[in-house]
Structure formats: structure tokens, C-alpha cells
A and B are shown apart, each in its own frame.
Chain A
Amino acid sequence: MKKTIQDLKVLRNKKLTSDFFELELKAAEPLPELYPGQFVQVLIDNVRNVFLRRPFSIHDVNYQQNTFSLLIKLAGPGTRQLSYTEEGDFLNIIYPLGKPFTLDVQGDILLVGGGCGIAPLLFLARYLYDNKNIAPDILIGGKSADNLPDIDKYKAFGRVFLTTEDGSLGMCGLVSDHTLLQKECQKYSMLYACGPEPMLKIIAGIAKEKLIECEVSLENLMACGIGACLCCVVDTVDGNVCTCTEGPVFNVKRLKFS
């Protein structure tokens, strides 16, 4: 898949919660084909303490408008700077990067996201709904109700289940505690998960135990994003491989998750 580097225009910067915002970006040329699970590398120029590009998953795509969006959670100086971007600003972006989720699936599908890991799930849910005729179950977790950004959007593509750590919305606890995973997950032919590593490890454990196919999207620290620096590696059955080129999506059977 050919990668490009482009200055994309910020059409909208929408604050969703105290720590989530969404950037809608417009390309001057037709978008390349984008797939759920792929990511972009954003240049954040002239900001103290930000040297490298920052990776973000593709959150949603609109080919008619030539736009795609990023769902970003405030984490440090880079994401803070991005939260200040205004309509009409341009962001220098390298994309599309990485390998997508396996999209040739059927049967019941569960998407699980926690923290900023929910970002790729909207695009994935839309893709499955539009192209595979699948309405997946979508399980999303956060710290509290006001940490869950724009959950209604997901309802257009499947059934949405929520967990919050403080119990303010949905089930109280972590996503991995939800009954869908703890009790009912046998019915799914595929689990897709994205979020903090401890969460992914628990879900990978469940999937392995129950012999369910499971793909996780990793968020390893990256420098280049294009397979040149070898900084982003994850330990797999094939040894160290780059998450930016062979991932960020991996089948858990390939990972040496401990």
C-alpha cells in the first residue's frame, strides 16, 4: 500500500469530553484506500518537548468528502498541542500506515475498546456493517460516564455495551470484567480489541483459553512509523517484529504476551 505525506486541512476540532477530542481532516486529493486498524503519523512542529511524530489510529473515514478523523485522548504535550488546532490549520501527516484488522470475517463479532483504544473501533464497526453485513457487538470501557466520547455514533452499526470504573454508566468495572467476555464470549467467531496493554493481555488470555480468534491493536512507542528504526518491536513467535509495519494489529496467537 503506497504511503503518502500530505498537509491535511483541519475541518473541525470537536471537544468530546474533558480528555477526548476529535479532529476531522480533509485531503486535497482523493483519499487513498484506508482500512480499519491502520494509523497515521502526525507532525507536531515547534512544540517544546515534542520531537517525534505522534501515531493515531484512523477513527472514521468519509470518502465522499475526502475526510477522515482522529479520536485523540490527552496524554502529554503532543496531544495537548493538537487539541489547540483550529479549523483551517494544516497538519502534516504520513499515512496510511500499518496492517489493518483481518476484515474477511463472518458470524458474531465482538469489538472491545478501552481508553484511547476505542479510536479504531468506529471505523471497524462501520466497515463490517457496510461491507460484510455484520452488526458487531461493541464493548467500550472508560473511567466514568464523562470519559466515554460520542458513544451514540457506534449504535448505528451494532449493539453497544458499556463499562465504567466508577459505575456511572453501564456495568461497573473494567471492560475485561464484562459478562460478554467473562460468560458469553464463546459465541463470537472473532474478538477485536484495542486499549491498554493489561486489558489486551486479559482479553488475549480469554480468547486463547476459549479458542476464539482474537486480534489486538498495539500502541507501542514509535519513532518512524514506517519500519526503518526498529524501535517499536513486539516479541512474537517469529522473534522481534515491528508493530508499525507488521502490526499494529496482531493475532494474539502470534504474540508472546506474558
Chain B
Amino acid sequence: MIDLSIKISGLRLKNPVMVASGTFGYGLEFADFVALSELGAIIVKGTTLEPRQGNPYPRMVETASGMLNAVGLQNKGIDYFIAEIYPNIKDFDTAIIVNVSGAKVEDYIKVAEKLNDLEKIPAIELNISCPNVKQGGMAFGTSCESAAEITGAIRKAYKKTLIVKLSPNVTNITEIAKAVEDAGADSVSLINTLLGMAIDAEKRKPLLSTVTGGLSGPCIKPVALRMVWQVAKAVKIPVIGMGGIMNATDAIEFILAGASAVQVGTANFIDPQVSVKIIDGIKDYMERHEFSSINDIVGNLIY
């Protein structure tokens, strides 16, 4: 028997494949394509205290092997989530994790407190790495002090599993990872998008309304793998790896680099069924290599 289940602090997942925040809606958008119960976890859209309109169109540019987005955390706010979305998703037979964003520490705390009360939300992912909002967001994730401050504050307010999502737009990601570990995070997930830009040379105009945006997709995978590898060596808490995963082999690479679990993001846009294909592919890999537990592969890299 192949055992794909993993544990992230108190949270037990049936397999290590999650879908990344902002790329899978609330899961409902994919229900026609995927048996949601097969997924390890669904990380729902970035949720803030107040509703947010996000940035103006155009918010997306296709790039070589990837895309830039500048959605800017468009969402209807935590109260809407609790009243209108949660009742429709709470009985999915998978872990529903809410990605929490904000501009001020107090906002993050209020959202975390409200989520604490939701029985079927076993964990939150703290987004201190969104490159697409002017205030807060990534600003929290780019210095050890602010990353530790917000993690510590949420740790006090939130009793269940706390995952902190790290920004790659920093000089030394391992220091930030250690800072949030010391401040009480149960796990770190990485990477969020890389800050990028695209220009229309003919029109001499930036292609995004916000000029800069977040780069995702296979083009960021080597950077993401390197960062996961570095962070996994530096911290003791489980690492959740992501960035450009398109298939099971990519996912295995992240696990070998030290990730206990992975998230699939942009790939969902190209193949809405890719997440379950990745789960099957991981099983195949384990059979071929005669591993019985997914935990046997984590960080099992031969130098």
C-alpha cells in the first residue's frame, strides 16, 4: 500500500497535493472537472477584512512559459466568505484552507479570529507576500522583523494550523523563513509570485495597469525549487513548495528538494484536471521507485 498522507503540525492531509490560492477560486469553479475530494487541500482565494475591487484591467500578460498577474486581491471580504461561500464548500471532503491578506496587522488579526470559529477550516495561509497591493501584502514579507511581528500576532489570535506564505522578492528567504518559524508558524509555503513587468514596445506602454505584476508558471520553477531547497534545510517546520508545477515530475522535484507538500497554481488554468493527474503521477513514481510512504521522499535528494 502506498501511503500519500502527510501531516502539517496538527493538520492531516490525505495526500501532499494542494491547489494554490488565487488559482482555484473556491473550488466550486472546478467542480465540473475534478472530484474535489481527491485533493490534499484547497487553498481558497486571498481573503481580506473588507471587500476589495482589485486593480483595473488589464491585469494579466502571458509571458514566455508563464504569466504576469496584477489581480490585486479582488475578493468580497471575510464576512461575505463566511456568509455566502463557506456554507457551500464546508462539506467538501478535503481540507479547506483560507489564504489571508491585509494591509494592517489588525486587519489580519480580525480575519484570523473570524476564521478561528469556522469548524471546517482547519488552517490558514497567511499571505505576507502579495506583490500586487500597494500597502501591506508583500511589505510584511520582505523584512524579518515585520514577518515575525505579523506571524506572532496571528499566532496569538489563531489556534489552528498556521501556514505563512513567503515572498521570493527578498535577498535571503531563509532568514525570513526562520523568523516566521521562531514567531510560531506551523509551516511555510513558498513561493508566491516573482515581481515582474512587461512592455508593449510598439505602443511604448506597460502591459499591466499597475505596470508591475507577479510572475508565475513554469518559468519560475528553477527559482522556486532553489528557494524551497534552501528553506527546507534552514527550518524544522514542514515546507510547502510551489512555483511552476505543471506535472507530477515537477511536484516530485519539489518534494525531493525538501517540500512535505506542494501546491499547484497556474497549471490549473491550462488543465483544470492537472491536480488529480499529479496525485496519480506521484503514486506511479512511488511504485516505480518502491517507496511506500511519501514522507520517505521528502528531501531525499542524492548529491
Contact = CB atoms under 8 A, between A and B. Distances in A.
Contact of B74 (A49, A52, A240): A240
Contacts of A220: 57
B10 interface: no
Interface stretch (B89-97, B143-151, B229-237, B264-272): B264-272
A221 interface: yes
Given A220-B57, A230-B71, A231-B69, A51 B63 contact: yes
B33 A5 contact: yes
B99 to A, nearest CB: 13
Interface string A182-223: 000000000000000000000000000000000000001111
Interface in B52-73: 53-54, 56-67, 69, 71
Contacts of A53: 269-270
B53 A221 contact: no
B29 interface: yes
Contacts of B58: 221
B62 A51 contact: yes
Q: Name the interface size band of chain B.
A: 20 to 34
B77 interface: no
Contact of A223 (B53, B57, B67): B67
Contacts of A252: none
Interface in A42-81: 43, 49-53
A149 to B, nearest CB: 26
B25 interface: yes
Contacts of B53: 239-240
Contacts of A226: 25, 29-30, 272
B60 A4 contact: no
Contact of B64 (A49, A94, A227, A233): A49
B25 A228 contact: yes
Q: Name the interface size band of chain A.
A: 20 to 34
Contacts of B54: 230, 233, 240
B23 A228 contact: yes
Given A51-B217, A52-B67, A230-B74, A94 B272 contact: yes
B29 A233 contact: no
Nearest to A94: B272
Given A51-B66, A52-B67, A229 B57 contact: no
Contacts of A50: 62
A23 interface: no
A50 B292 CA distance: 38
Contacts of B61: 221
B66 to A, nearest CB: 6
Contact of A43 (B25, B30, B56, B270): B270
Given A223-B60, A228-B24, A240-B54, A51 B65 contact: yes
Interface of A: 2-5, 43, 49-53, 94, 220-235, 239-240
Given A53-B269, A230-B74, A235-B57, 18 more contacts: A5-B33, A5-B273, A43-B271, A49-B64, A51-B65, A51-B67, A221-B61, A223-B60, A223-B69, A224-B269, A225-B269, A227-B29, A228-B23, A229-B60, A233-B54, A233-B74, A240-B53, A240-B54
Closest 7 pairs (CB-CB, A-B): A231-B60, A228-B25, A224-B269, A3-B32, A228-B29, A223-B269, A230-B71
